[in-house]
Amino acid sequence: MPKVKQINHVAVVVDNMDKALSFWRDALGMELHELRDVPAEKSQVAFLPLPGSEVELVQPTTDDSGIAKYLAKRGPGMHHICLEVDDIEEMMSQLKSRGVRLINEEPRIAADGKKYAFIHPESTSGVLVELYQI
């Protein structure tokens, strides 16, 4: 049976990366590990690590991306929680068998080789959940 290992990250959608970093990095004193463009998701992501997890700030880089649409509809704020799992395919199969609505039917592969997929908020009491397998 597949298992959730830990919370990998919490993602926050921002409309202004510099303004967001002035709080998360400058006011809270969190270290900015990396600021990366993610062309596949049409976004820029700031990675702020914490022990065993991290905060990711996500800003859209185009007006037609999923992140931009989310931002236009809901405004800046919490976007999703990411759960690290030991076997993403098995976890997705288990969820499907229990009637959980998935956004991605198959795991996607990130630039760094990690597998990920999203679960629709309709099945999670309103929270967008990402599954991640390292």
pLDDT digits (tens, 9 = 90+) for 17-30: 999 999 999 999 99
What residue numbers bound the domain in which 87 lies?
4-133
pLDDT digits (tens, 9 = 90+) for 54-65: 999 999 999 999
Q: Output the domain CATH number for residue 22.
A: 3.10.180.10
DSSP string for residues in 34-92: EEEEEGGGTEEEEEEEETTEEEEEEEESSTTSHHHHHHHHH-SEEEEEEEEES-HHHHH
Q: How many domains does the chain have?
A: 1
Q: Could you tell me the pTM of the whole model? A: 0.91
